[in-house]
Structure 1
Amino acid sequence: MGDAGEKSASTSEADPRLADLERDALVYAAVVDSALDAVIVVDEDGRVVTMNASAEACFGYSKSEALGRSIGELIVPDRHKAAHEAGLARYRATGVPHVLGRRVEMEARRKDGATIPVELAITEVKLPDRRYFTANLRDLSAAKAAETEIQRQRDALHQTEKLAAIGSLLAGVAHELNNPLSVVLGQATMLEEELAGIAAASATGARATQIRIAAERCARVVRSFMAIARQHKAEKRAVQAPALLDGAVELLSYGLRSNGVAVYRDYDGQMPEVFVDPDQLQQIVVNLIVNANQALQETEGSRAIEIRTFVGDDGHARIVVDDSGPGIPDALRAQIFDPFFTTKPMGVGTGIGLSISRGLAQSQGGQLGLVPSLLGGAAFELVLPVATRNGGQVEQEAGDPAPDIQPATGLRARVVDDEPDIAKLVSEALSRHGYRSDLAGSGAEAQALLSATGGAYDAVICDLRMPDVDGAALFQWIKAHHPALAGRVLFITGDSLGPAAGLFLAECGRPFLEKPFAPGDVARLVAGFSTLPRATPGT
């Protein structure tokens, strides 16, 4: 060994050119072996001559395993092997390159059988006696994954923007519906009251009742849409779950009925109230029913959804939405709550419903998860905290029967609304309780009339959104010019889900009614003004 080393050293000293070649070979080998990309050298028969460390790490073969074996056998996927062999044979026969000197993307196979995307560049090395080919391969797995994630986030942003646009559209449609719906509901209610007890008008009275019931149903649907579109901080209170569950079913009744889905209810009559934000609870249930209805579309035979409520052993309330659909495969059960994961066809689902629902459930102090289905499909269980009552009274909801209000006399109200039919409805409702109403079609007109009368009114009922001077601006003007009257203002609005309107109503502290409303609601709230000091002209 010592003699060989001495001979090599002496040879290098004798021939400097040989020393340069040896040095260059060592440098080249070091550069190739430390390259981040995989480098595989093959002979003209396609057999591996050498490979660097990155190639070993990328494809899982050690150098000793790979040497002498066909590169097609090692890293070319089975479905591409025929084309690979044909390409080699064509080049050997014609000398015309096909992929030499170009960068191409293709698939390569690892030792474990997995395929990965790679970028390939092949160069030819010609020696006096033969040819070699150097394949430089760059693993694109990370780049492709990043590209996929960027596209996913782009799609997610698009879906978010689309949902926001739908929410705005929904708010606008609901607001436009609320005005005529308020008139239908209010006039039907008053007609029904006028015909009550008149035997000759019993048939007409029955028809008025039917109109009122249908209008109330429409009002519940609109309120449900508004609740789903509403974006606000959770406002938890004690609520009866069955009423919200029935509201969700009613909201989706047409789609369920047209899909041939039977909805069954199994409510625990002894279940206490739950402590939740009612809007968010209804949104969760609506999402679950929509998912169940879509799953049932592909189900042959009977289609059913069952909604069950009960109290668990841990004392928490439970709501289960169960369906007779195909169910959820075990392999996917851990993923269904992931954002943007969906098993639905393109264009049918966004993959965010269950993720949002679980987040809403957790914000209520509860949980949402999968449980065994009694109907053979998928069953989702919503666990919620039970409300603890401290003797407080439950606030009366708009639309509840108004308490018995004794009519007053000599009272005067200013009704401000740019919708004449709404203003007339409010005026008629107040007239039954001793109010004489003066109407104004805009905030600017109301300012002029209030100035002319010195603000001597017992109540001001004002629409919140008007084209010139809106309700918020009119209220600030009243506070500045007739402060005693500011405590007698009642707002009527179809826009309380808007951030500006919601913020104003929260800050001003004045009572308000959301359209559509019943005439009795106006009288009930205005009746509370009787204990306040009456405004006098000039105050």
Structure 2
Amino acid sequence: MPGTAPDAVAPGHAPAPEVHAAVLAAVVESALDAVIVTDEKGIVVTINPAAETTFGYSREEAQGRSIASLIVPEHLRTAHDDGMARYQRTRVPHVLGKRVAMEAACKDGRIIPVELAITEVSLPDQRLFTANLRDLSSARAAEREINRQQGLLHQSEKLAALGSLLAGVAHELNNPLSVVLGQAMMLREEIAAPGDRAVAAQRVERIEAAAQRCARVVRSFLAIARQREAARQAFDLAPLLDQSIDLVIYGLQSGGVEIVRDYGTDLPMVFADPDQVQQIVINLLVNAGQAMERQVGEKRITIAARAGRGVLSLRFSDNGPGVPPAIAGRIFDPFFTTKPHGLGTGIGLSVSRGLAQANGGELLLAATEGQGAVFELTLPAASSQGVAGLPEAEVSSSEAPSGRWRVLVVDDETEVAEVIGEILETLGCVCVTARTGREAEALVSARGGFDAVISDLRMPDAGGAEFFRWLEKSHPDLARRTVFVTGDALGPAARLFLDGCDRPVIEKPFVPAEMRRIVAGVLAATGSSAG
């Protein structure tokens, strides 16, 4: 027929079987994914070049072997054999037509993640099965890298927020430190001269209150900066809100912003990660303050807390310009920001919502332009989770384990070691001090008989980590009765070590109640004293 291509197939005429076979063979041979063809017993009939590349076997090596011995890892062999036996009994393949993620073994021993899809091929004299396997190694590596980069970006956003808080933190520390220094110097003068001891007692209370304020500021700052997995627990929200406000109050008040606290009454305890909740609160307060920077007249942020059914609701409202409706649906999108360059990365609200959801709550925009901005944060109440939030009680000397306990205190700051010793004396402890890890090793080797170890992390001539590894080898029982005291909570090396050693950690600045509680628990686990 004129105009018809020589190789065209006339309508109604199918290609010859050998053409079909050639086409199918070409498709399998050129497939980018691995293809393994087996018979009903799981014996390999053939594999394509992609399978040779992926698993390391040549076609000749693979043919005639069971697919189990070829690519099924040892820990999955039993499940595979059970599946084959079930198929032999029922002739019903359970994974046919499904896409399954699993692990596969390579010739060189590597275990790789793959996606598997099995198709049945019915022939006149037998049934064959083609296993299409896609190597997911690159995809999984890319996913891990994306997660790592997201984590770094998240940390970068936190550090940027911390930078904006530094002026306020310095102010919050300098004020109480001025009280500590001034009251301490006046106390020294009063003790040197005869006088009313009641005045001296009042000065001691003021010093303690100011020092506690410093400790709260430092701990709150470190809690925001550290990078770790969420640790949900029951806690009172009102004190955390006050601590968060303390960190930003200086910057807000310097900009003329008033903070109104409306916490309500009889609030339930919250079940969440307090550090992550604090990060959300600070993000919302900083955002509100920045939104009102150019505003003339009254500037106000109101924090209202109310109990709901199984939740606690926090509303952060300001009297600023609000959020225009045109962008209200985008403000939680990553990298979306209306701030000038240098004032944020645009992931603060996105991260805050993610943290809220990770803690079983939600963060929503409740009001937009014309009403100021209102953000509502809901968090699960501890009672709804079946969690009883009981405050940790002080441990007195009468409640501590009985006996004269010998405790080794290792700290290169002599004054710190002395304070720890004085605190532990109320538990019936006799403390021996060492200034370095090497000195501590010598004391343990020479004297022995210690019931517990309290060790700093960063010290010259063998730090706490090196000393602990020595204890694990030489005195494993004493290693299990070790408590770390550190001011290096943010150091990546310190964090990695502390996460791996699974021992109690007391962060500096510490308070006597916390020190006594943790050490008493370690001593109680020893069973008997050495004295």
Following the alignment from structure 1 to structure 2, what is the Cα–Cα distance between the partners of residues 268 and 374? 27
1:128-527 map, 5 Å: 163=157, 200-312=196-308, 315-372=310-367, 376-388=371-383, 394=389, 396=391, 402-406=394-398, 410-453=404-447, 455-527=448-520
User: What amino acid does structure 2 have at the position aligned with 1:523?
Assistant: R
State the 4+ residue runs in structure 1 displaced beyond 4 angstroms. Answer: 156-170, 389-393, 497-500, 534-537
Task: Go from structure 1 to structure 2 and tell me whether the alpha carbon gap of 1:199 and 1:458 turns closer, same or farther (over 3 Å shift).
Answer: farther
Alpha carbons 2:412, 2:435 under 8 Å: kept: yes
Alpha carbons 1:323, 1:379 under 8 Å: kept: yes
Task: Go from structure 1 to structure 2 and tell me whether the alpha carbon gap of 1:353 and 1:391 turns closer, same or farther (over 3 Å shift).
Answer: closer
Alpha carbons 1:458, 1:488 under 8 Å: kept: yes
Offset of 1:320 from its aligned partner?
Answer: 0.8
Matched residue of 1:252: which SS? Answer: helix
Alpha carbons 1:425, 1:519 under 8 Å: kept: no
Following the alignment from structure 1 to structure 2, what is the Cα–Cα distance between the partners of residues 281 and 237? 11
Aligned length: 364
Q: CA RMSD in A?
A: 3.8
Task: Go from structure 1 to structure 2 and tell me whether the alpha carbon gap of 1:499 and 1:307 turns closer, same or farther (over 3 Å shift).
Answer: same
Following the alignment from structure 2 to structure 1, what is the Cα–Cα distance between the partners of residues 397 and 474? 31
Alpha carbons 1:321, 1:379 under 8 Å: kept: yes
Offset of 1:514 from its aligned partner?
Answer: 1.0
Aligned to 2:128: none
Matched residue of 1:269: which SS? Answer: coil
Using the TM superposition, name which of 385-394 and 515-524 deviates more. Answer: 385-394
Offset of 1:391 from its aligned partner?
Answer: 7.3
Matched residue of 2:231: which SS? Answer: coil
Matched residue of 2:382: which SS? Answer: coil
Greater relative contact order (CA < 8 Å, ≥ 6 in sequence): 1
Superimposed CA distance per residue, residues 123-173 of structure 1 (whole angstroms, 9 cap, x where no aligned partner):
xxxxxxxxxxxxxxxxxxxxxxxxxxxxxxxxx999778558769999x99
Following the alignment from structure 2 to structure 1, what is the Cα–Cα distance between the partners of residues 445 and 404? 20
Report the TM-score, using the length of structure 1 for normalisation. 0.60
Alpha carbons 1:484, 1:533 under 8 Å: kept: no
Structure 2: unaligned runs, 5 residues or longer: 1-149
Superimposed CA distance per residue, residues 236-295 of structure 1 (whole angstroms, 9 cap, x where no aligned partner):
122222122111111112112212221111113233222211111110010000011111
Aligned to 1:99: none
Superimposed CA distance per residue, residues 197-230 of structure 1 (whole angstroms, 9 cap, x where no aligned partner):
x993221221221121111111111111111111
Matched residue of 2:224: which SS? Answer: helix
Task: Go from structure 1 to structure 2 and tell me whether the alpha carbon gap of 1:225 and 1:429 turns closer, same or farther (over 3 Å shift).
Answer: same
Offset of 1:347 from its aligned partner?
Answer: 2.2
Report the TM-score, using the length of structure 2 for normalisation. 0.61
Alpha carbons 2:436, 2:460 under 8 Å: kept: yes
Aligned to 1:13: none
Following the alignment from structure 2 to structure 1, what is the Cα–Cα distance between the partners of residues 158 and 244? 21
Following the alignment from structure 1 to structure 2, what is the Cα–Cα distance between the partners of residues 201 and 302? 47
Following the alignment from structure 2 to structure 1, what is the Cα–Cα distance between the partners of residues 151 and 228? 21
Q: Calculate percent identity across the aligned residue pairs.
A: 47
Superimposed CA distance per residue, residues 458-478 of structure 1 (whole angstroms, 9 cap, x where no aligned partner):
321111232332222222322
Alpha carbons 1:413, 1:438 under 8 Å: kept: yes
Superimposed CA distance per residue, residues 385-431 of structure 1 (whole angstroms, 9 cap, x where no aligned partner):
2223687654656xxx6232227664322110122221121122223
User: What amino acid does structure 2 have at the position aligned with 1:483?
Assistant: P
Following the alignment from structure 2 to structure 1, what is the Cα–Cα distance between the partners of residues 222 and 370? 32
Task: Go from structure 1 to structure 2 and tell me whether the alpha carbon gap of 1:374 and 1:322 turns closer, same or farther (over 3 Å shift).
Answer: farther
Task: Go from structure 1 to structure 2 and tell me whether the alpha carbon gap of 1:159 and 1:403 turns closer, same or farther (over 3 Å shift).
Answer: closer
Offset of 1:380 from its aligned partner?
Answer: 0.5
Matched residue of 2:510: which SS? Answer: coil
Matched residue of 2:364: which SS? Answer: strand
Task: Go from structure 1 to structure 2 and tell me whether the alpha carbon gap of 1:410 and 1:393 turns closer, same or farther (over 3 Å shift).
Answer: same
Alpha carbons 1:309, 1:320 under 8 Å: kept: yes
Following the alignment from structure 2 to structure 1, what is the Cα–Cα distance between the partners of residues 221 and 497? 22
Superimposed CA distance per residue, residues 37-93 of structure 1 (whole angstroms, 9 cap, x where no aligned partner):
xxxxxxxxxxxxxxxxxxxxxxxxxxxxxxxxxxxxxxxxxxxxxxxxxxxxxxxxx
Following the alignment from structure 1 to structure 2, what is the Cα–Cα distance between the partners of residues 369 and 390? 22
Matched residue of 1:465: which SS? Answer: coil
User: What amino acid does structure 1 have at the position aligned with 2:506?
Assistant: L
Alpha carbons 1:456, 1:536 under 8 Å: kept: yes
Following the alignment from structure 1 to structure 2, what is the Cα–Cα distance between the partners of residues 482 and 444? 15
Following the alignment from structure 1 to structure 2, what is the Cα–Cα distance between the partners of residues 339 and 347? 16
Structure 1: unaligned runs, 5 residues or longer: 1-155
